[in-house]
Amino acid sequence: MQPPLLTLAQHALARGATPAQAYALLARRTRQPLPSARAVCLALSIPLAEATTRLGDCYGSLLANPRPGSEADTGELLEALGVFDVPAALTDTDRAVIDLFLTAIDAMGGIRPGHQHGLDRWFTTGNLTAAYLSLAAAQPLPRTGDPARYWAALVAARELLATAPGPDTRIKLALAHCRTRAAAHTTTP
């Protein structure tokens, strides 16, 4: 008798497999892509309702009619799409930082879909440092953006990030950049 998929997924992850590798192992073994992906999500403690939503979003394009031998590629795509992203437990400070990031995104005046996808994944996983560095390296669009609001939101977000224990030293230069840009766009009466 074969162990249930969830047990197999948990075992693969406990042995050091990435979620993509665990998926490929299960899908190759069972030839059941959707149940295999669901098992990996559940093994990562992603709630069933959330896993169902995530998998429903990509079922038709990745899991409905898989090509034999494509399990590893499909696993990598599922991972890149954020299907296996484990939601972080966010603090009130984290949520306030994300609110400031959303203000900055709005003030950009437009954002590339890939950049938005990356930011959404970092918000989900709680990787706020990566989100900050990404936004600090971007800039508002010339005609539709609001530079003063954009840079002010990033400076305020960095101040909140600095209150977190052990702030990442990589963001010091990004903060200096944001402060310089904010000062350049501040209007004086």
pLDDT at 187: 56
Mean pLDDT of 92-116: 93
pLDDT band at 178 (very low <50, low <70, confident <90, very high): confident
pLDDT at 14: 95
Sign of CA dihedral 44, 45, 48, 52: negative
C-alpha dist (Å) from residue 53 to 37, 46, 96, 157: 12, 11, 26, 30
Four-point Cα dihedral 53, 99, 174, 87, nearest 10: -30
Mean pLDDT of 2-27: 92
pTM, entire model: 0.75
Measured between alpha carbons, how far is 7 from 161 in angstroms, rounded to an integer? 38
Mean pLDDT of 105-115: 92
pLDDT at 17: 94
